[in-house]
Structure 1
């Protein structure tokens, strides 16, 4: 074998070995890339910048995120990604992406999607444009991940905070209950919601707040055998679908009241000492409208809601008491003014708290200079310090008043 032949053979072997190593390196790189893509908590994508966001590539995280297989979305075979984006968020998503593409910057978005099962998810997306050497936009590449749990936790926290602040930001219980309804709506479906409060004096459950698609507000009623009464009696939250409702009816535990919902969620409103009422949400069509997470949220919120309601009820009771007290004081003043005798009212310390017209006229006739007519001064000390010709009589009056105030005498 000649020298050239040996050299050519050696070069051929080296070339083959080199190609094999390159192929192995490429395979390893593909394996690493595939492993990374398949283990990311979300999906990697490549799409066109068209009206459909037509997908050219989707990683294996697509089904967990959207419910669809990659092949159902790629090329808009079954559905486009534009259709998966929540209708209320489509315009903002497009405008934000286009604005960053014009500046050739990366973008970050937070928006909602609707999965194949019909569920709503919050997602976070980061992506950027892929441009040619000439600056032509070829595609978009990026990553989308599910942030529903984080978004839900933020919304729940904000909702409870609004309810707590509502105690001071609302003027009465009705306003507070409206605020509670609006706060809960930000977390879960609450188009059918009511708050029933128990009145211990009348022993009735009163619907203090009630919104419903089908039923009208029921009058106050005694605790019967409806679902609301069942939760009130047992004092524990309950998530009840139609099957569970029918089972409890068969067992005689509850009776059907109102339009039957597909799913019903009720939680007791409990203070430190007792259950003061019930909060209920229900859905008439979707039996999957609520889950254990919703039950846990309303249960945790119920304590704050009960506290807020109780404080507002106390405030209203105090306001009512003040009105009654003021009305009684006005009537008392009218009655005293009608009497010809000179009368002053004393508190337990002997301070003058009110006087009638006859007293005021007497003071004016005797050249009393103040406009308070003695209100706020201590009548007993005034009598005891008298040095007029009626000083002895004044001291007797002071002793008599002191005896009455101390309970030693009733006249």
Structure 2
């Protein structure tokens, strides 16, 4: 061997011996050379100890077969350099993860495999811990009692958990990629969008506030949002928010407020008709209230209408009320919530007569003093799609 070649070989050996990566040279499956870093990584005390081993036996069977097949191809020049990340077992029995890359080289006039091995156990543990943390986070988010969502800087949904989807009545696939402003009512849209943009610009604004969303079925829900702006690993600005459905809380607050207002009106209003007008306005804040109040006189067995507001009928003969829905509420002492179909059924089964224009939805509750029913408070809707609900019934009964 010429002096030049000896110097080159010595230089490469020096580099290999001081490398932090394990390096080896093999022909077939027989080691010709291994540096100190490889001995350390694989737990070998000497090259002779490692030389006795077929390195593929240190790998899991499936990985060993795959690499063995690729080595054959590489030695024939059919395969380019490839990197494997596999699980291995050191000579002392300790499991590790390694990164293994090999390529074909010529050494001493024969084809050899030149390999580089890195211990990536720490990285794999970090990745596994991160994966577990992500799974834990996802589990917590998915089982949260509040809606959780992430939107990008173009207002589009990036993520929505199950509770948020349930709140709106959409599947995740129906939400992802859509503008979150589509699901706000008109009053909330500008308000929320303005806060969103100001937060994206880094302005200091309250992170918790209330607004109204519109579900797939058209129902409006009051929500309280708490949000924060983050930057993801790729530098994209995201807004992460948690929503709590506060519809029932807001409804309870309204009911309490209405009851208080009615109580105040009773004590402060001298004129009876003015009192009824005040009660109508208070109810109108809770629900669409084209309503009337019918009082019943037991002695004369007749109704009177001290207050009447209707979209179509300017007046109704009180004497007819006892034969209609109003009379049925008085007779049973129970409230009635009826859509068109229910109204028709009551007419067919109970002999209830049609009084005035047909309503799309009718809701009546008994007015009681102690256990005695003295009249009926009724509201009705003539607009398709605008119906009363069980919650409206509860509100009217409460008030």
TM-score normalized with structure 2 length: 0.66
State the SS of the aligned residue for 1:189: coil
Q: Distance in 1 between matches of 2:386 and 2:230?
A: 41
Determine which of 192, 195, 207 is the counterpart of 1:93. 192
Secondary structure in structure 1 of the residue aligned to 2:322: coil
Instruction: Write the deviation string for residues 330-349 of structure 1: whole angstroms up to 9, x where unpaired.
Output: xxxxxxxxxxxxxxxxxxxx
Q: Distance in 2 between matches of 1:10 and 1:25?
A: 25
Counterpart of 1:33 (choices 116, 120, 137) is 137
Give 3-state SS (helix, strand or coil) of 1:75's partner. coil
Residue 66 of structure 1, aligned match among 168, 185, 190: 168
Verify the 8 A CA contact 2:164 2:243 in the aligned structure 1.
no
CA distance in 2, matches of 1:3, 1:48: 50
Q: Residues 337 and 361 of structure 2 are in contact (CA less than 8 Å); yes or no, is this contact kept in structure 1?
A: yes
Aligned residues: CA RMSD: 2.8
Q: Does 1:126 align with 2:226?
A: yes
Q: Is the 8 A contact 1:38 1:59 kept in 2?
A: yes
Residues in 2 aligned to 1:25 and 1:110: alpha-carbon distance in whole angstroms: 37
| Alignment of 1:177 onto 2:210 | no
Q: Does residue 108 of the first structure (1) align with residue 236 of the second (2)?
A: no
Query: Could you tell me how far apart the structure 2 residues matched to 1:226 and 1:72 are?
Result: 46
- Map of 2:245 onto structure 1: 146
Q: Write 1 or 2 for the structure with the bigger share of strand.
A: 2
Pick closer, same or farther for the CA change 1:155–1:270 going to 2, 3 Å: same
1:7 counterpart (37, 40, 45): 40
The alpha-carbon deviation at position 97 of structure 1 amounts to: 4.1
Give SS of 1:221's match.
Answer: helix
Rounded Cα–Cα distance in structure 2 between residues aligned with 1:44 and 1:248: 45
**Residue 367 of structure 2: SS of its match in structure 1?**
strand
Q: What is the alpha-carbon distance in structure 2 between the residues aligned to residue 223 and residue 211 of structure 1?
A: 15
SS of alignment partner, residue 251 of structure 1: helix
Cα distance between partner residues in 2 of 1:26 and 1:256:
69
| Corresponding pairs, count | 293
**CA spacing shift, 1:242–1:9, aligned 2, 3 Å:** same
TM-score when scaled to structure 1? 0.64
Q: Summarize deviations over 1:10-39 as a string: whole Å, max 9, x none.
A: 497363543442232122112101111101
Q: In the superposition, relative to structure 1, how do residues 66 and 217 fare at CA in structure 2: closer, same or farther (>3 Å)? A: same
1:83 to 167, 179, 182: 182
Whether the 8 Å contact between 1:42 and 1:65 is mirrored in structure 2 is no
Structure 2: distance between partners of 1:196 and 1:211: 12
- Give 1:193 deviation, angstroms: 1.3
CA–CA distance in structure 1, aligned partners of residues 309 and 169 of structure 2? 34
Q: Deviations over 1:114-167 (max 9, x none)?
A: 10011010001011223699xx98232211121111111111111111111111
Q: Which runs of 5+ in 2 are unaligned?
A: 1-30, 45-87, 89-95, 98-118
